[in-house]
């Protein structure tokens, strides 16, 4: 992967309690303190949060999914993908059906798979983000694919299982190899056609983030970020401080920014994931930024106000 991609990736994741009573003539004497303690304990049990997944659990699921991808194992991938699933890659975004078709009809071979730098963050109850670096030897129709890759996956709990509802990757800085030509041309007009448009207040904030970056308005940009924002890109996982440094200490000159239609998916009560294409004419230092990219932002409503809590983007070929 050419280091010119580095900057753009840096710029931009209860039940109820009931008491049984005796008949009117046989009511037992009630110990109020004991009853209240029992009620509190019951309420505590029924409203307790489910435990977030461990890193080991998600790593095992993810490695098995990669093996199923290499084997074109549709039944295995069916168990990996959540009922709502979005894949974001170098050819654009695809929903569950399109991703399944692509993942089971490729002509790639993979070996020597290894993960590193795994980190898991609970975004909400029943929702977790895992970021990691994946290295492998991958060949697709004779083309050697990029390695290593920096990857993000959002997992959601469905019943008793953790399943992936979003996957995105980008070649790491210094990656060797290139993506081969896509098997089919992306239809941008039909991209995520079944998904709803992003809420207007989130669209407004997302545009402000790009506008304030273009103007190099550090304060205006930062006010729309959650303190806990995570950014994943060519250089790996960044916290808020490192993200701000990357976005505003790179001597960027931005001539123009154009954002495509934003589609969204609700992933919990207060979390909304947004997908869109961005066209940018800009340079940071001596590096010209890729002109087209796919971007994903997760917003969390904090006191009713949407704040960006996760961001990732990758260059697209069309």
Q: Give residues with Cβ within 8 angstroms of 65, minimum separation 6.
A: 76, 77, 80, 164
What are residue 311's DSSP bridge partners?
231, 297
301 φψ region: left (φ > 0), alpha (ψ -120 to 50), beta (else):
beta
Instruction: For residue 267, give the nearest of 163, 58, 127 by alpha carbon.
Output: 127
CA atoms within 13 A on the CB side of 119: 16
State residue 284's pLDDT score.
Answer: 86
Torsion sign, CA atoms 72, 74, 75, 79: positive
Residue 15 CB coordination number (10 Å): 8
Going by their DSSP bridges, the two strands 161-176 and 81-89 should be labelled as: parallel
Q: How far is CA 168 from the centre of its chain?
A: 7
Q: Give residues with Cβ within 8 angstroms of 291, minimum separation 6.
A: 279, 280, 281
From first to last of its 318 residues, the chain has per-residue pLDDT tens of: 333 334 434 344 333 323 333 333 333 334 444 455 554 544 544 446 678 899 999 999 999 999 999 999 999 999 999 999 999 999 999 999 999 999 999 999 999 999 999 999 999 999 999 999 999 999 998 899 999 999 999 999 999 999 999 999 999 999 999 998 776 667 777 889 999 999 999 999 999 999 999 999 999 999 999 999 999 999 999 999 999 998 898 888 999 999 999 999 999 999 999 999 999 999 988 888 999 999 999 999 999 999 999 999 999 986
CA–CA distance, 162 with 165 (Å, rounded to integer): 10
CA–CA distance, 277 with 259 (Å, rounded to integer): 6
Q: What is the largest CA-CA distance in the chain?
A: 88
Question: How is residue 59 annotated by DSSP?
Answer: H
Q: How far is CA 89 from the centre of its chain?
A: 12
Three-class secondary structure of residue 286 per DSSP: coil
Instruction: For residue 315, give the nearest of 99, 3, 66 by alpha carbon.
Output: 3
Length of the chain in residues, anyone?
318
State residue 38's pLDDT score.
Answer: 52
Q: Give residues with Cβ within 8 angstroms of 164, minimum separation 6.
A: 61, 62, 65, 80, 81, 82, 85, 153, 154, 155
State residue 97's pLDDT score.
Answer: 95
Three-class secondary structure of residue 301 per DSSP: strand
Task: Kindly report whether the peptide bond that precedes residue 232 is cis, defined as omega within 30 degrees of 0.
Answer: no
Residue 61 CB coordination number (10 Å): 19
């Amino acid at each position: 992967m050419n280091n010119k991609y580095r900057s753009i990736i840096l710029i931009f994741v209860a039940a109820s309690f009931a008491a049984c009573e005796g008949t009117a003539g046989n009511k037992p004497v009630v110990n109020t303190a004991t009853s209240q303690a029992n009620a509190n304990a019951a309420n505590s049990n029924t409203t307790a949060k489910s435990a977030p997944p461990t890193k080991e659990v998600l790593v095992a699921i993810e490695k098995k999914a990669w093996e199923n991808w290499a084997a074109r194992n549709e039944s295995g991938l069916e168990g990996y993908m959540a009922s709502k699933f979005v894949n974001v890659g170098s050819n654009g975004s695809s929903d569950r059906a399109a991703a399944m078709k692509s993942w089971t009809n490729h002509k790639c071979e993979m070996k020597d798979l290894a993960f590193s730098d795994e980190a898991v963050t609970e975004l909400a109850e029943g929702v977790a983000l895992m970021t990691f670096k994946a290295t492998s030897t991958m060949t697709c129709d004779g083309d050697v694919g990029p390695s290593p890759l920096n990857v993000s996956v959002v997992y959601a709990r469905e019943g008793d299982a953790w399943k992936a509802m979003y996957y995105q990757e980008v070649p790491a800085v210094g990656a060797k190899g290139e993506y081969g030509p896509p098997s089919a041309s992306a239809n941008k007009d039909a991209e995520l056609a079944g998904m709803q448009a992003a809420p207007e207040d989130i669209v407004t904030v997302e545009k402000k983030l790009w506008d304030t970056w273009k103007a190099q308005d550090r304060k205006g940009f930062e006010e729309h970020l959650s303190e806990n924002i995570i950014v994943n890109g060519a250089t790996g996982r960044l916290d808020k401080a490192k993200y701000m440094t990357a976005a505003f200490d790179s001597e960027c000159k931005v001539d123009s920014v154009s954002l495509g239609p934003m589609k969204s998916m609700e992933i919990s009560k207060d979390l909304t994931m947004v997908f869109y294409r961005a066209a940018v004419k800009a340079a940071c230092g001596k590096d010209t930024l890729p002109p087209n990219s796919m971007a994903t932002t997760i917003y969390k409503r904090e006191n009713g106000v949407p704040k960006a809590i996760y961001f990732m983007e990758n260059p697209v070929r069309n």
